[in-house]
Amino acid sequence: MKNLDPIDVIRKYYPEDNALRRLLLHHSRQVAERALLVAEKHPELGLDKSLLRAGAMLHDVGIFLTDAPGIHCHGTEPYLLHGYLGAQLMRAEELGAIAHICERHTGTGLTMERIRERGLSLPEGIYAPATLEEQVVCYADKFYSKSHPERERTIEQTAQSLQKFGEEDVQRFLAWAERFE
């Protein structure tokens, strides 16, 4: 990870300097800054800072493939698939650890049981953060929205925003907040 420049990877998939690339970079930098702050506050966790930075910068790399015009995405796939699609791109780059971060950052993670319950269009797989680095990037991502890039949510606002996904997501996020703040 030490030699990986995530900006080069972003430029490969977002070659034009346009609103989408600028939004992705802004959001990704917000997430990276917060994730690295967790690592700084908690050296006892032994977090891989290079992986955190790269994972935070690339966690949303697949958004250009989705149909989300409100955030300048004019692809064809449902937005829910952006993590899965980003993971495919990162596997093609031989970046397996980054691929896991991509596919495991939606909400506070999705279990196959929840995917089936809700009829979500995700293939079989693991979509819940497993490693500490995956958890920290997922956690940091929840404070920022690409729809409102100028805002940073508080812990309380973030927990409230997760209510729509169920109490389990809220409790997982609050447990992370307890551990990472």
Q: Where are the beta strands (DSSP E) in the chain?
A: 67-68, 73-74
Q: Encode the chain (181 residues) as per-residue pLDDT tens digits.
A: 668 899 999 999 999 999 999 999 999 999 999 999 999 999 999 999 999 999 999 999 999 999 999 999 999 999 999 999 999 999 999 999 999 999 999 999 998 888 888 888 898 888 999 999 999 999 999 999 999 999 999 999 999 999 988 899 999 999 999 999 9
Domain 6-180 class in CATH: mainly alpha
Domain spans of the chain, in order of start: 6-180
Tokens 């490693």 appear where?
131
Tokens 């032994």 appear where?
46
The whole-model pTM stands at: 0.95
Tokens read off for 96? 């397996």
Q: Which amino acid is at 105?
A: H
What pLDDT sits at residue 118? 84
Q: What does the alpha-carbon distance between residue 170 and residue 91 come to, in Å, rounded to a whole number?
A: 30
What pLDDT sits at residue 139? 98
- Is residue 66 helix, strand or coil? strand
Question: 136 with 35: CB under 8 angstroms?
Answer: yes
Tokens read off for 60? 């949303």
Q: What does the alpha-carbon distance between residue 166 and residue 146 come to, in Å, rounded to a whole number?
A: 22
Residue among 48, 22, 44 at smallest CA distance from 35: 48
How would you classify the pairing of strands 73-74 and 67-68? antiparallel
